[in-house]
Chain A
Amino acid sequence: MYQFSGKLKKLALALMALGIIGIAIGFISSPSSIDEVKEELHNAHNAHGSHDAHTAVVTNHGEEAHHEKSSHSSDKTHVEESAYDTHAEHLYHQQKNRPWSAIYVALFFFVGITLLVLAFNAIQRVAQAGWSIVLFRVMEGITGNLLPVTILLLVFLLLGSAHVHHLFVWMEPGTVDPLSDNYDAIIAGKSWWLNVPGWSIRAIVYVAGWNVYRHLSRKASLAEDNETNLVSYKKNFKMSVAFLAFFLFTESMMSWDWIMSLDPHWFSTLFGWYVLATFMVSAVTVIAMVTVYLQSKGYLEFVNDSHIHDLAKFMFGFSIFWTYLWFSQFMLIWYADMPEETTYFVQRFEEYKLPFLGMIPMNFVFPILLLINSDYKRIPHFVIGAGVVVLLGHYLDVFVMIMPATVGGEWFIGVPEIGAVLFFIGLFIYTTFTTLAKAPLLAKGNPFLHESETFHY
């Protein structure tokens, strides 16, 4: 049995406390009124002594629905004045969005990782894989994080539909009303899918479905330990088949609902796969990291370097898979060059160049070069080293999926962003290791256990 050490528990709680402080600072330092933004703009304006910067930004943001107000005045100064006001209002909304977006990026990142660990575990069960049985309890431990993070996510999303935060511009009143100033024909055309009640109900269905499977599968897995027959094993197999079917639909739909709808004018048909890839590689990385950590503490003595090797192979393979989808999405849009599609990448190239292009070395070149060697895949230090870079890179990926639509050019990885990440790392450590401590680390009832224990590549 694993003992959740007091030291680690303290670390987890400290991270969560630090995270809450960081998130709070984010909310306190966001502007409380448009006048505050105007004042800041005014100061910056005087400092730079130029109008051009502001006007340039104004034209860049022609896309979003909530500020498509145009001035009908022919008076030039009036136009400028009104553009200035619109710009200030726009900046105000973006800066107000920033602490919320910071939470959302970190929250979604951890939901995705936990969910994909659950899916990875289900794949192992459905494939009746022999190698991975000794890692089942690690995976089940990590999915102990699913219930807390999905509940937080659900609360976060429902706060959006209650207009507490304004990350989803299509939810703003009037977007589907032809008589409203806010009317947006494209959003209105998508409203059969993208409407607040449907969206909220779907969110509840996804989260409920995932958690029900996680609960039942874990229960059956624990029951297996004390069984000499295969009743629980077979039950778990059938459950996992059903879950995977449910998961593959809901994963795609959740990526449209929760990420792609942030840019409601834009769409990509492989978006669900792309989101899947980014979390798949992160999930395998997290499994490898928790396994290596437990081994370094003297647990999991039945896990040998061939298991680590296999996890590293998945990290390597899924890194390539992610790059393939990331690039496919980009290349098709780049080549077709249709304005309604390219806006997505234009904004990322103009305002997010460093994180957007920085992902290629972090998520592709680095793991490829480090993990291509078969011997390196067995060395825990290399796996952890590659894993840290991969996780940072995929955090950036989620960041670049969400931030451009919500905060635009007002992004920075500062206190609110790091605070949110620390909070969810703390929560992850707390829930994962609490769950690990609840059951023996060896799933001894599994019929393939011997194959896994003697697994040798």
Chain B
Amino acid sequence: MSNKVIHALYNDDDILMDAVKTVKAADHHIDEVFTPFPVHGLDKAMGLAPTKIAITAFLYGITGLSFAIWMTNYMMIEDWPQDIGGKPNFSWFTNMPAFVPILFELTIFFAAHLMVITFYMRSRIWPFKSAENPDVRTTDDHFLMEISIHDNEKELKSLLKETGAVEIKVIENK
């Protein structure tokens, strides 16, 4: 494990995308890219594995649906059946049309909230955590590419210079 990394800063997402492709083509491993906003296609260019968040969203949706079925059945059929407009309340199924909005909303609610929470956990972001990005400018208008150095500092520096980096820094890790 190397303890030296190189930071290349860019000021345009298109230049960054081309740079990522060039660096990948030269067979260097990119540790991380910090961007102020999501850059489309960056994950593919970096060769990251496809996200599995869609699968979790589907599972969370199913969970929400099941929860809504259980909840409506418990509240409206088992625990406190009510006669609303003479609608059947003896079985869940005959009263189901009235519950569809609830089923729909809770499916969405579970999928959306749990997906966001999953994303935060997976990205290791939680309340009171101090920021990990190495340069504050990446929250404003700069893009930063981080590559670890394996005795190839010079080669990397010249390569990154060619790709249009506006600033190149070598950082020694403790």
Nearest chain A CB to B31 CB, angstrom units: 26
Whether A374 is near chain B, meaning CB under 8 Å from some CB there, is: yes
Contact with B along A183-222 (1 / 0, CB 8 A): 0000000000000000000000000000000000000000
When distances are taken between beta carbons in the complex, the residues of chain A under 8 Å from B58 are 372
A331 in contact with B41 (CB, 8 Å):
no
Nearest chain A CB to B92 CB, angstrom units: 16
Whether B129 is near chain A, meaning CB under 8 Å from some CB there, is: no
B97 in contact with A334 (CB, 8 Å):
yes
B97 in contact with A335 (CB, 8 Å):
yes
When distances are taken between beta carbons in the complex, the residues of chain B under 8 Å from A334 are 97
Residue of A nearest to B57 (CB): A372
Number of chain B residues whose Cβ lies closer than 8 Å to a Cβ of chain A: 9
Whether A330 is near chain B, meaning CB under 8 Å from some CB there, is: yes
The interface residues of chain A, by DSSP majority, are classed as helix
Whether B39 is near chain A, meaning CB under 8 Å from some CB there, is: no
Whether A337 is near chain B, meaning CB under 8 Å from some CB there, is: yes
Count class of interface residues, chain A: 10 to 19
Residue of B nearest to A334 (CB): B97
Task: Give me the interface of A with B, judged by CB distance under 8 Å.
Answer: 327, 330-331, 334-337, 372-374, 456
Contact with A along B66-102 (1 / 0, CB 8 A): 0000000000000000000111000000000110100
Residue of B nearest to A374 (CB): B54
Nearest chain B CB to A43 CB, angstrom units: 39
In Å, the complex CA distance between A337 and B98 comes to 12
A327-B97, A331-B100 provided; 8 other pairs, C-beta below 8 A?
Answer: A327-B100, A330-B97, A334-B97, A335-B97, A336-B85, A373-B54, A374-B54, A456-B41
A-B contact pairs, 15 of them (CB 8 A): A327-B100, A330-B97, A331-B97, A331-B98, A331-B100, A334-B97, A335-B85, A335-B97, A335-B98, A336-B85, A337-B85, A337-B87, A373-B54, A374-B54, A456-B41
The interface residues of chain B, by DSSP majority, are classed as helix
Residue of B nearest to A324 (CB): B104
Contact with A along B112-129 (1 / 0, CB 8 A): 000000000000000000
Residue of A nearest to B58 (CB): A372
Nearest chain A CB to B72 CB, angstrom units: 14
When distances are taken between beta carbons in the complex, the residues of chain A under 8 Å from B97 are 327, 330-331, 334-335
Nearest chain A CB to B150 CB, angstrom units: 33
Nearest chain A CB to B9 CB, angstrom units: 26
Nearest chain A CB to B171 CB, angstrom units: 34
When distances are taken between beta carbons in the complex, the residues of chain B under 8 Å from A336 are 85
Nearest chain A CB to B110 CB, angstrom units: 16
Residue of B nearest to A337 (CB): B85
When distances are taken between beta carbons in the complex, the residues of chain B under 8 Å from A374 are 54
The 10 residue pairs across chains A and B that have the minimum distance between CB atoms: A331-B97, A334-B97, A327-B100, A337-B85, A335-B98, A331-B100, A335-B85, A374-B54, A337-B86, A330-B97
